[in-house]
Amino acid sequence: MLFGAGAAVIAVLLQGKPLAFDFRPTYIASLLYLALFGSVIAFAAYFTLLGRIGAGRAGYVAVAVPILALLLSGFFEGFVWRIWTVLGIASAVLGNLIMLAEPAGLYRWRVWRRSARGVSSSSA
C-alpha cells in the first residue's frame, strides 16, 4: 500500500495538482471503514481461513469477492445486469463448486460416467 500511495502522490505532483485531504466526516468515516474492514479485519479473516482449510481452498475466495462486489453494486448502485454478467457468475460458482468438491464425489461421478459409456471400471 505504501508503494501505491507513493505512486499516487507522484502522479498528482506530475499533473501539477495540489495534494489535498477531504475533512468531511463522511469521507473520514468511509476511509476508516475501508482501512478497518477492507484491510485489517479482512486480512485477519483470510489468515483464519488459511489455517482452517488450507491455502489451496482459501485461494478460491479470490473468485468469490468479485461476485459479492457485483451483488452489492446491483443492490446499492443500480448495476445493470446483462447476460454475460450472469453467465460469468454462474461459471465462477460452478468452477468453485467443482474445485471444492470432495474427491469421493468426483470418483462417484467418474464411475457413473464410465458406466454410462459402457466402459467397465476394471478396463479403464
Query: What's the pTM?
Result: 0.53
Q: Given CA atoms 91, 92, 95, 96 in this order, what sign does their dihedral have?
A: negative
Is 90 exceeded by the pLDDT of residue 116? no
What does the pLDDT read at residue 36? 92
Q: State the amino acid at position 98 in one-letter form.
A: I
What does the pLDDT read at residue 3? 94
Residue 104 cell numbers, joined: 469421493
What does the pLDDT read at residue 95? 86
Average pLDDT across the chain, whole number:
87
d(CA 106, CA 110): 6
